[in-house]
Amino acid sequence: MAGGKLFYVIGPSGSGKDALMTYAREQVAGRLPILFAHRYITRPMDAGGENHVCLTQSEFLNRRELGLFALDWQSHQNFYGIGIEITSWMSTGANVVVNGSRKYLPTASQRFPEMRIILIDVSPDVLRQRLTDRGRETTEEINARIERNQQIPPVHHPNLLILNNDASLVESGARFIDMLTS
């Protein structure tokens, strides 16, 4: 059986990565060989956002030392990891979707050179509104986040796919699923 592909989803906080991944997971619902990896994060479970496996920092570092992460990085005072189970999943022919990090992309590309990168792009106005609606940050924090996002260099990768997510979840979600199945 041919190996599956790794889809590394990136984009600014508030771009809709979690919403798109949740939508796609619900739509494929086991009918297609697409699996969505949970991230292991040193962030409380009730912090909002994605469904993740919550670990203490010592638990995370122990798992990393034991080699239990296929990918791991640190961002925003938290540790993030993707478990080594994804390599087994891909060996069965399943496509695997992970919520990645733009800053970690060069390292992830070395580990998985054939992976597909899906950059979720959103206009600044839509991003600002989504961050405001989310209600986790002050106006000043939102402005700082948008400023930081605009300073991040453009992503260049031979397997880069770009999905503009200014449209409705149904419309963008359908395009996202098409990317995962083509």
Residue ranges for the known binding site are 11-18
Distance between CA 17 and CA 26 in Å, rounded?
A: 14
CA distance 94 to 1: 10
Tens digits of pLDDT across the chain (182 residues): 568 999 999 998 788 998 999 999 999 988 889 999 999 999 877 766 667 889 999 999 999 999 999 999 998 789 999 999 999 999 999 999 999 998 899 999 999 999 999 999 999 888 888 888 888 889 998 888 888 887 778 888 999 999 999 999 999 999 999 999 98
The pLDDT of residue 67 is 97
- What does the domain layout of the chain look like in residue ranges? 6-181
Cβ atoms of 155 and 144 closer than 8 Å: no
Task: Give the residues across from 157 on adjacent strands.
Answer: none
Question: Which residues 6+ apart lie within 8 Å of 133 measured at CB?
Answer: none
Q: How far is CA 51 from CA 19, 32, 144, 146, 149, in A?
A: 11, 21, 25, 24, 23
CA distance 73 to 100: 9
Annotated binding site for ATP: 11-18
According to the model, what pLDDT value does residue 136 have?
80
Whole-number pLDDT of residue 148? 81
Q: Which residue has the tokens 């990891």?
A: 81
Q: Check: CATH 3.40.50.300 for 6-181?
A: yes
DSSP designation for 29 = T
Which pTM was predicted? Answer: 0.89
Question: What is the structure's pLDDT at 47?
Answer: 62
**Residue burial 38-59, b: 16+ Cβ < 10 Å; e: rest:** ebbbbbeeeeeeeebeebeeee
pLDDT given for residue 48 in this prediction: 60
